[in-house]
Amino acid sequence: MAVAPSSTLVSLAEISAAADRVAGVVRRTPVDRSDNLSRLCDRPVILKPEHLQRTGSFKIRGAFNHISRLPAGVEVVAASAGNHAQGVALAASLCGLRSVIFMPGAAPLPKVEATRGYGATVLLGGDTVDDCVESARAYAAGHGARFVPPFDDPLVIAGQATVGLEVASEVPEATTVVVPVGGGGLIAGVAAALAYTRPEVTVIGVEAEGAPTLRRALDAGGPVRLDSMSTLADGTALRSVSPLTYAHAEAFVHDVVLVSEEETARAVLLLLERAKAVVEPSGALGLAALLAGRIPRSGAAVAVCTGGNVDPLLLIKLIERGLSAAGRYQLLRVVIPDRPGGLAALLGHVAGLGVNLLEVTHHRAGVVVGVSEVEVLLTLETRTHQHQAEIVATLGDAGYRVEPMS
């Protein structure tokens, strides 16, 4: 894609200066060429593991590049669901500055505690990150503090662009780079860096179906504000990109695709199983798009895994959802005769199928069945969706009324 010259876009000189500035502070996260994920995606897949970065995400890059340019003694303030919060808190501490971070009331506890652990004062309140941004800006105006934007800032974008510089040098075979999108700061920087240094590389953004901020903006010809959002990828749940990040996307990004919650959960699960990587839902969007076939199948693809700060309780739910999406769990409603030995006969059929039975629930009251029937709910451990269909067909052939449940 041709580079559109504009004073609003970060330059290669600004990105190179950011790389020099953050050197020695951020980790150069070595890429992982995954044979397992490559087979599943039917193309070479390379992971850029920013979940292994300091603070557990790429955010320290932009935060440090911005904060290191501030005068000594100023107070910094920011708003975030967790990753930007931690990046700002650590960057401020490294620069000897005090930081105040506004976080949503429902922010995951591990992210809140980690932010405090990096030296920040955390103030909880508001339902969304956008609410917190308003509070943080008001605090900055009232206290003479410096607001550090999560994405709407040239220094932040230039700092995030250092991910793109690393990919450009580390993965010479890459034809496509896939980047999760929230407010657009990361994809703005990565796409700019690659446009300047590797213009032949295609850059594609990925958003959750429930928070298509950049996709809507590109379709509308400018930033739009979403009325509502619903996604387990909380790190990308922002109502709008900024004019600055939109300008970079319009100039440098080739396409933006969407993925479902199930596809995201499956990607989180596969990263755990096949890459031994703990990646939060927002960070797994790129791989989710590759697995779902949303990215044109041509050449080596780099998936930027943006962060790994996931609440353990959420991780448990994600694993369960990912297993279901991959055909590894099956819940069946089976109606059987209400007579001695009826349940034992059903379980005998299940055992004959070589299926691992995880849970059995037996209902007589409160269900719509015949007077001489009972309902049984079976939770089974299965191999694939095809295996699940075979189980339903076999039990149906044995005379049972079987209904798969979501």
Residue 211 sits in a domain of what CATH number? Answer: 3.40.50.1100
User: Are 207 and 253 within one domain?
Assistant: yes
pLDDT, residue 238, reads 84
Tokens 């739009």 belong to which residue? 224
Hey, what are 188's tokens?
A: 């703005």
Q: Tell whether 195 and 210 lie within a shared domain.
A: yes
Domain-ending residue, one of 147, 171, 191: 147
The neighbour count for residue 84, using CB atoms within 10 Å, is: 31
Beta strands at 356-363 and 373-381: parallel, antiparallel or unpaired: antiparallel
- Tens-binned pLDDT, residue by residue, of the chain (406 aa): 444 445 589 999 999 999 999 999 999 999 999 999 999 999 999 999 999 999 999 999 999 999 999 999 999 999 988 899 999 999 999 999 999 999 988 887 888 999 999 999 999 988 887 789 899 999 999 999 999 999 999 999 999 999 999 999 999 999 999 999 999 999 999 999 999 999 999 999 999 999 999 999 999 999 999 998 888 888 888 888 999 999 999 999 999 999 999 999 999 999 998 999 999 999 999 999 999 999 987 899 999 999 998 878 878 887 887 777 777 888 899 988 888 888 888 988 888 888 888 898 877 666 677 778 888 899 998 888 888 888 999 999 988 999 988 7
Contacts for 344 with CB less than 8 Å, ≥ 6 apart: none
Residue 274: both structure tokens together: 């096949």
State the Cα–Cα distance between residues 163 and 61, nearest whole angstrom. Answer: 8
Domain that holds residue 178: 12-57+153-324
Q: Give the global pTM.
A: 0.84
Residue 2 within any structural domain of the chain:
no
CB atoms within 10 A of CB 311: 17
**346 and 284 together in one domain:** no
Q: Same domain for 165 and 212?
A: yes
Are 259 and 294 in contact, with CB atoms under 8 Å apart? yes
| 180 and 237 together in one domain | yes
- Picking from 31, 22, 27, the residue whose alpha carbon sits closest to that of residue 170 is 31
Check residue 373 and give its pLDDT: 86
Tell whether 211 and 291 lie within a shared domain.
yes
| CB 95 within 8 Å of CB 89 | no
Write the single-letter amino acid at 117: G
CA-based Rg of the chain, rounded to a whole angstrom? Answer: 24
Residue 1 lies in a domain: no
Q: Which two tokens mark 54?
A: 């300091």
Closest residue by Cα to residue 21 from 160, 153, 118? 160
d(CA 397, CA 285): 41
Residue 5 lies in a domain: no
Residues 227, 199 within the same domain? yes
- The number of distinct structural domains making up the chain is 3
pLDDT for the residue 4? 45
For residue 357, give the CATH number of its domain: 3.30.70.260
18 touches 162 (CB < 8 A): yes
Residue 7 lies in a domain: no
Q: Which of 324, 350, 371 is the last residue of a domain?
A: 324
Pairwise CA distance, residues 237 & 61, whole Å: 20
Does 175 share its domain with 300?
yes
pLDDT for res 254: 97
Do 170 and 251 sit in the same domain of this protein? yes
The count of other CB atoms within 10 Å of the CB of residue 300 is: 18
* Same domain? 225 vs 320: yes
Residue 391 lies in a domain: yes
Find out whether 309 and 288 touch, Cβ atoms under 8 Å.
no
**What is the structure's pLDDT at 384?**
85
Comparing CA positions, the residue from 165, 172, 148 lying closest to residue 63 is 148
